[in-house]
Amino acid sequence: DGGITQSPKYLFRKEGQNVTLSCEQNLNHDAMYWYRQDPGQGLRLIYYSQIVNDFQKGDIAEGYSVSREKKESFPLTVTSAQKNPTAFYLCASSIYPGNNFAYGYTFGSGTRLTVV
Amino acid sequence: GQQVMQIPQYQHVQEGEDFTTYCNSSTTLSNIQWYKQRPGGHPVFLIQLVKSGEVKKQKRLTFQFGEAKKNSSLHITATQTTDVGTYFCAGYYTGNQFYFGTGTSLTVIP
């Protein structure tokens, strides 16, 4: 079955450490996205990528980094510079180009990151 | 950045009652999508609206896009316990990203 796999489901990090969240899709989607979800704040875009080897900052990119070396993979690194990293992180993908998003975004099951 | 306002934040209804959530934008949207997130789960795409005044139905769910393409609503008729979750709208302006509303959390009391 096609879909998006995020791992791990739960992640604990010590303050000052970098951590990388995995996101893999086998939907052959061009575009991939990382969102952060906090209670009462909806989903906020961290980074997105429309094609391999290219990515753009979203509204809350500070303290995060990404790479897109393969179409299927879009890992997110939460660096020690992120002041409040405890959150639920969602990876998504969609068909591209343009804004013909008739099929919407497909989301992974998420990674819950806790800083201890 | 752009903002899509969504109200109410929470809604508790008795099973069988109707439910409506509203999204509003200060500027014209290109299109709008709706998602449902079950407790502990991830958002799942429900529908996209593109045309001014568009109305779409999915069984007990009715989605509307305003004439000015600045607002949208999701109405559920005769709620069931399976409707529990958070409903998000996501508005698309010219550009490369959707802007998600803050969501409406629906609780259905049996």
The answer on pLDDT for B76 being more than 60 is: yes
Kindly state the percentage of chain B with pLDDT values over 70.
Answer: 98
Mean pLDDT, rounded, for A77-102: 85
Q: Identify the closest residue of chain A to B43 by CA–CA distance.
A: A107
The answer on pLDDT for A74 being more than 90 is: yes
Mean pLDDT, rounded, for A8-36: 94
The answer on pLDDT for A99 being more than 60 is: no
Report the C-alpha gap between A22 and A74 in whole angstroms. 7
A116 pLDDT band, cuts 50/70/90, is: confident
What does the pLDDT read at residue A39? 82
Check if the beta carbon of residue B5 is closer than 8 Å to that of residue B100. Answer: no
The answer on pLDDT for A53 being more than 60 is: yes
Mean pLDDT, rounded, for A66-88: 95
What does the pLDDT read at residue A56? 94
What does the pLDDT read at residue A97? 57
Check if the beta carbon of residue A105 is closer than 8 Å to that of residue A94. Answer: yes
Check if the beta carbon of residue B72 is closer than 8 Å to that of residue B92. Answer: no
Tell me whether A43 touches chain B (CB under 8 Å).
yes
The two tokens of residue A18 are 């970098």
What does the pLDDT read at residue A105? 92
Report the C-alpha gap between B67 and B88 in whole angstroms. 20
Mean pLDDT, rounded, for B59-88: 97
Mean pLDDT, rounded, for B40-47: 95
The answer to whether the Cβ–Cβ distance between B103 and A42 falls below 8 Å is yes
Q: Identify the closest residue of chain B to A31 by CA–CA distance.
A: B96
Neighbours of B54 (CB within 10 A): 18
The answer on pLDDT for A51 being more than 60 is: yes
Total residue count of chain B as it appears in this document: 110
Sign, CA dihedral B4-A87-A97-B54, equals negative
Mean pLDDT, rounded, for B76-90: 97
User: Shortest CA distance to B24 belongs to which of B45, B2, B46?
Assistant: B2
Check if the beta carbon of residue B91 is closer than 8 Å to that of residue B32. Answer: yes
- CA count, 13 A, side-chain hemisphere, B9: 5
A43, A51, A88, A103, best to mutate vs chain B, most B CBs in 10 Å: A43
Q: Mark out chain B residues that contact chain A at CB-CB < 8 A.
A: 1, 6, 9, 30-31, 33, 35, 41-48, 88, 90, 92, 96-98, 100-103
What does the pLDDT read at residue B93? 86
The answer to whether the Cβ–Cβ distance between A106 and B45 falls below 8 Å is yes
Tokens 């949208």, residue? B72
User: Shortest CA distance to B88 belongs to which of A40, A102, A109?
Assistant: A40
Per-chain mean pLDDT for chain B: 94
Total residue count of chain A as it appears in this document: 116
> From start to end of A1-116, where are the E strands?
4-7, 10-13, 19-25, 31-37, 43-51, 54-57, 64-66, 76-78, 87-94, 106-107, 111-115
The answer on pLDDT for A91 being more than 60 is: yes
Chain segment B17-34, per-residue pLDDT in tens: 999 999 999 999 999 999
Query: Parallel, antiparallel, or unpaired: how do β-strands B19-25 and B71-76 relate?
Result: antiparallel
A55 pLDDT band, cuts 50/70/90, is: very high
The answer to whether the Cβ–Cβ distance between A42 and B96 falls below 8 Å is no
